[in-house]
Structure 1
């Protein structure tokens, strides 16, 4: 089984990219010259990227929430065809681009039929590879567009993926990109999500031991939700586990009923309100009955 070399490499996000249009790419390649030039171009575009020196499991790729995977099949050999087939089957929404050295027509045809979106021969210009990635991601996004753009309502909050923002009525909650991604992730799950799972699916890589980033962002997100929608509780903490989104509305107090309580209390005789003292007070009729005669 191929080793997983994906740990310990942070994602890089260029500030120039618009959050809703950014692309997340993983590059599996061991050519330092190619990788250096290519990731420099990705950085200038503001894309998130992971440079991986070897194959990683489909499960880890799922956790990274990638848009595209660029892979040199010589790096994942032997078993490159089986690996490609497994990745394409497990991640049908992932754009897979093979970028490798000279190959035969039979190899290129086999790779494309397995599920790769494109096959590019090295050496190639980084701009050509960028355009191929953009075209492949655009096709996948077009197919998923109804789901990606569909607004969702939770409680009094409307989640707008097309704007990468959430609203209470017409008022924006002014969520950061991370806060929005956490809210969207929680809204798409009907179960408790572990902190580690939230981190992997939003940040794109494994959470380090002792990292409290998820707690910090959830706290800020919760504050914004509660401030924008008073009387509602949205995010519930499951201590030692994680978080769950389950909007619950707190009923407003019944002030009329509360005001009626003092009036009812005023109608009760003082003796009845005196508790044990009232029970200890002698009954006048009883005293008269037991009093000795003249």
Structure 2
């Protein structure tokens, strides 16, 4: 079974979510504070971590920093409804996605499965096929990225978004399509997650010969990967 770590100081909610996820086929461990949660996430046992932002002492943002300093395990943040700042900070620090609280166990499970579907490694490929566009090379089977031959560390959501753009290089991709294909969910109104992820990807990749980013914003539509 796929092993999930739930980190939240709300014990009642934690056990409600745990019971549902177990019934839905997951193996679940729990932690009641950010310090223990971050340490547990770094053991390498988990396919995904669900991390609440609002916790005493070591909060979710600090716990995420500790996790991302050593691991690329997918992290789904639980954020207060309407708190855009926590969402943006979490995404900038490397969270893969977020779910606003209160959320239903069914919604959380669906979001977890959407992330996991996009992080599965293709097994059995001795020579994984590569996708190359100019200086960019992606190996979807291994979920590896290189720019000009040098490895680039991306979160799972960043990889998914970049892969969609690379496969459509030279053509603009609508934000709604990006969200559906890369994040596995419709783009909600006022949702800035795509923009935050794109900013991070641009920062991590190199530039074209003329100094421009390889990812261009298409006004009122979405983004486009430029063919060199």
TM-score by length of 2: 0.49
TM-score (norm 1): 0.38
